[in-house]
Each structure stands twice: as structure tokens, then as C-alpha cells.
């Protein structure tokens, strides 16, 4: 995703949770109208801290300590393509986007799981 698109999405998300964040701008290609669909999530947070001195009486507080300080701010934005909707004069099709990264990671996990259990089985056999 280019920087300009990210800036546009961030500014739109801050103003409103509009449906346009999940359904991108449509494009006309020949007789087809193509509409991208995505899963959009974002969040943010901030914080601040100070140090408070205790007075001589239990439970009461005095002014904020001159040595106290704090701060912090963070935010995140996540967009994942889900599908493409193709609209023609005769039909409408939803074509899902295949995330090959997830498929590869699942294969790596499954291979590791098999190696683990084969090793355990071999240990059990050769201990006897």
C-alpha cells in the first residue's frame, strides 16, 4: 500500500467509520465494475503518569512531585484484502483473495508438528 493511500485511510478512519474503508473505490474495466473488499481495523491509545507524594496524614495526597513525569501514545491500522466483487450486466461474482502467506505458515506448522510426533515416537521405540 502506498503512503498516499495510507494517509487517506487514516484521515477517513479518524473522521468516521465509513463503509468506504471496507469497500474501496469501484473501477470500470470494460463492461465490468470491480469493487475491492477489505477487512479494516485500527486502534490507538495514550497514557500519562505522574508521581504523587504522600502527606504526613495517611490517605491524603499533596501536590504533584516536581520529579514526576509520564507520557505515551500509540496507534495502529490494519487492512487485509478479502475479496473482489465483479458486477456485469448479467451477473455479480465475489472472487475471494487467497492469502498465500497463511497457507505457507499452516504448511510449516503442520510439518513441524509431524516432525515433533515422529521424534517422540522414535524416542519411545528406542528406549525399550
**pTM beyond 0.75, yes or no:** no
Mean pLDDT in residue range 46-58 = 63
**CA geometry: angle at 117 spanning 115 and 123, to 5°?**
100
The confidence band for 104, taking pLDDT boundaries of 50, 70 and 90, is very high
3 state SS of 106: helix
Report which listed range, 13-17, 69-73, 123-127, is most confident. 123-127
Grid coordinates standing for 2? 502506498
The answer to which of 41-50, 79-88, 98-107 has the lowest mean pLDDT is 41-50
Grid coordinates standing for 117? 510426533
74 vs 57, higher pLDDT: 74
Is residue 81 exposed (0-12), middle (13-18) or buried (19+ Cβ within 10 Å)?
Answer: middle
Amino acid at each position: 500500500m502506498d503512503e498516499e493511500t495510507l494517509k487517506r485511510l487514516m484521515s477517513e478512519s479518524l473522521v468516521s467509520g465509513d463503509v468506504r474503508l471496507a469497500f474501496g473505490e469501484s473501477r470500470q474495466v470494460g463492461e465490468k465494475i470491480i469493487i475491492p473488499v477489505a477487512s479494516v481495523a485500527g486502534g490507538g491509545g495514550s497514557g500519562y503518569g505522574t508521581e504523587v507524594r504522600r502527606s504526613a496524614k495517611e490517605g491524603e495526597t499533596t501536590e504533584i512531585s516536581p520529579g514526576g513525569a509520564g507520557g505515551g501514545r500509540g496507534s495502529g491500522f490494519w487492512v487485509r484484502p478479502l475479496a473482489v466483487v465483479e458486477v456485469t450486466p448479467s451477473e455479480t461474482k465475489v472472487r475471494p483473495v487467497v492469502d498465500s502467506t497463511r497457507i505457507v505458515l499452516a504448511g510449516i506448522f503442520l510439518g513441524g508438528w509431524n516432525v515433533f510426533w515422529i521424534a517422540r515416537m522414535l524416542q519411545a521405540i528406542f528406549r525399550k
